[in-house]
Amino acid sequence: MSEPSAEHNAIPAAKPHRHPTLEQVRAEIGDCRRCPLAETRTQIVFGVGAPHARVMFIGEAPGRNEDLKGEPFVGAAGHKLDALLSEAGLTRDEVFIANILKCRPPQNRDPRPEEIEVCTPYLRDQLRAVWPDVIVTLGKYATQFVLHTDRGITGLRGKLYRAGHFIVLPIFHPAAAIYDPTKNDLLVQDFQLLGRTLAELDAQGEGQR
């Protein structure tokens, strides 16, 4: 299992004695106006799922459907994610799903560095609140933030990494298989690896839940 530089680790390394609840994190965000995305969003997309999930998925940013509904992964990519979860023996209500950004970028453009900088403290607090065994990073931006790397997702996917307390599994964003069906088999393999990883943690008595 590979380990990123501890010096540049972007996520909490040790569980604090007093950690926030998801409700407290949401209250802290409030009606956030800390970046210009507040002017174009419909609503904040905080995240959804089990408050103490063993697996936390981190995507890039809300899309149009997510912006309208206020929930991550509700469009075509969400349906794809639901199908892939079964490959790991999981269902949506057993995991927690969040994004790097809490607001939709206009025209679904890529997140900008200044937006990531201002929004990710809330993601760190969500990680402290959920404290999962495994973080699954969906796509380039989530993976580069969590592992603090400039490497692309293609070279990182399908392997397990250690970032502080957490095991990190980078995978392609589910939308990638919609636009490029050749990635579907790789996504299936990676979700099966996730299932095996959880089973191994259970067998070793290391699973938290």
Phi, psi of 99 (to 5 degrees): -130, 160
Q: Which two tokens stand for residue 95?
A: 């995991």
Global pTM value: 0.91
The CATH number assigned to the domain holding 72 equals 3.40.470.10
Q: Which two tokens stand for residue 146?
A: 């969590």
Angle at 127 between CA 14 and CA 160, to 5 degrees: 75
Q: What pLDDT does residue 5 have?
A: 41
The number of folded domains in the chain is 1
All residues at 6 or more sequence positions from 185 whose CB lies less than 8 Å from its CB, including other chains:
none
Sheet holding 96-99, edge to edge: 48-49, 96-99, 55-59, 134-138, 166-171, 161-163
Residue 4, helix vs strand vs coil: coil
> Within a domain: residue 25?
no
Instruction: Provide the domain limits for residue 181.
Output: 35-203
Answer yes or no: is pLDDT of 14 > 70. Answer: no
Q: What pLDDT does residue 1 have?
A: 73
pLDDT in tens, 19-41: 899 999 999 999 999 999 999 99
pLDDT in tens, 74-115: 988 899 999 999 999 999 999 999 999 999 999 999 999 999
What does DSSP say about strands 161-163 and 166-171: parallel, antiparallel, or unpaired?
antiparallel
Q: What pLDDT does residue 134 have?
A: 98
Answer yes or no: is pLDDT of 18 > 80. Answer: no
Instruction: Tell me the average pLDDT of the chain.
Output: 92
Least confident of 9-23, 47-61, 87-101: 9-23
> Within a domain: residue 9?
no
- Amino acid at position 46, single letter: F
Answer yes or no: is pLDDT of 16 > 80. Answer: no
Q: What pLDDT does residue 6 have?
A: 38
> Within a domain: residue 43?
yes
> Within a domain: residue 137?
yes
> Within a domain: residue 6?
no
